[in-house]
Structure 1
Amino acid sequence: MKNYINFAVFFILLNSCMAQSPVLDITTPKKDFIGVKGAYYKDTKNVLNGYDGTYLYTNGTTSFKIKLQKNIMTSLNGFYYEDLIAGEYQLIENGVEKVNTLSQLTPTSNNNNISGERVLTGTTLGCKDCRADEKRLRLSFSDITPQNVGEIDIRKTIVDGRDAIIVKIWYTGPIAVKEGSPKPKEGIIRAGTYTMIKLKK
Structure 2
Amino acid sequence: MKKYIYIIMLISVSCKAQYSLQNHDSAGDLPSGSYCADIFNDFNNYVGTWKAVQGNKELTFVLIKKTYVYYPFKDIYTDFLTGEYIYKEGNQTLIDTTPNFTSTDVRGNNINGNLFIKDNDYFPICDDCFPNERRIHLYFKDPTRTHVHAEIVLRHKVVNGVQLIKATLYETLSITEEGDNLPEHITVPVGEYTLIKQ
In the alignment, structure 1 segments of 5+ residues that lack a partner are none
In the alignment, is the contact (CA less than 8 A) between 2:21 and 2:36 conserved in 1?
Answer: yes
Task: For residues 22-81 of structure 1, give each alpha carbon's deviation from its aligned partner in whole angstroms, at most 9, with x where no partner exists.
Answer: 4443223445xxx65443322233222221001000123221101111111223546532
**Structure-2-length-normalised TM-score:** 0.82
Change (3 A) 1:38 1:171: same
**Structure-1-length-normalised TM-score:** 0.81
Counterpart-to-counterpart distance in 1, 2:7 and 2:47: 39
Range with bigger deviation, 51-60 or 4-13: 4-13
* Structure 2 equivalent of residue 53 of structure 1: 48
In the alignment, is the contact (CA less than 8 A) between 2:103 and 2:109 conserved in 1?
Answer: no
Aligned residues: 192
* Structure 2 equivalent of residue 119 of structure 1: 116
Counterpart-to-counterpart distance in 2, 1:115 and 1:61: 27
Task: For residues 150-194 of structure 1, give each alpha carbon's deviation from its aligned partner in whole angstroms, at most 9, with x where no partner exists.
Answer: 2101001124421110000000011x44x5451531210111000
Given residue 85 of structure 1, which amino acid in structure 2 is its aligned partner?
L
Counterpart-to-counterpart distance in 1, 2:73 and 2:42: 24
In the alignment, structure 2 segments of 5+ residues that lack a partner are none
In the alignment, is the contact (CA less than 8 A) between 1:71 and 1:108 conserved in 2?
Answer: no
Range with bigger deviation, 3-12 or 55-64: 3-12
Counterpart-to-counterpart distance in 1, 2:169 and 2:116: 16
- SS in structure 1 at match of 2:17: helix
- SS in structure 2 at match of 1:116: strand
| Aligned-pair CA distance for 1:108 | 4.3
Given residue 65 of structure 1, which amino acid in structure 2 is its aligned partner?
T
Given residue 56 of structure 2, which amino acid in structure 1 is its aligned partner?
T
| 1:27 equivalent in alignment to 2:25 | yes
Alignment of 1:1-201 (within 5 A): 9-18=9-18, 22-31=20-29, 36-75=31-70, 77=72, 79-80=74-75, 81-106=77-102, 108-110=104-106, 111-121=108-118, 123-125=120-122, 126-144=125-143, 145-174=145-174, 176-177=175-176, 179-180=177-178, 182-185=180-183, 186-199=185-198
Counterpart-to-counterpart distance in 2, 1:157 and 1:4: 56
| Aligned-pair CA distance for 1:87 | 1.2
Question: What's the RMSD between the two structures over aligned residues?
Answer: 2.8
In the alignment, is the contact (CA less than 8 A) between 2:35 and 2:68 conserved in 1?
Answer: yes
Change (3 A) 1:37 1:184: farther
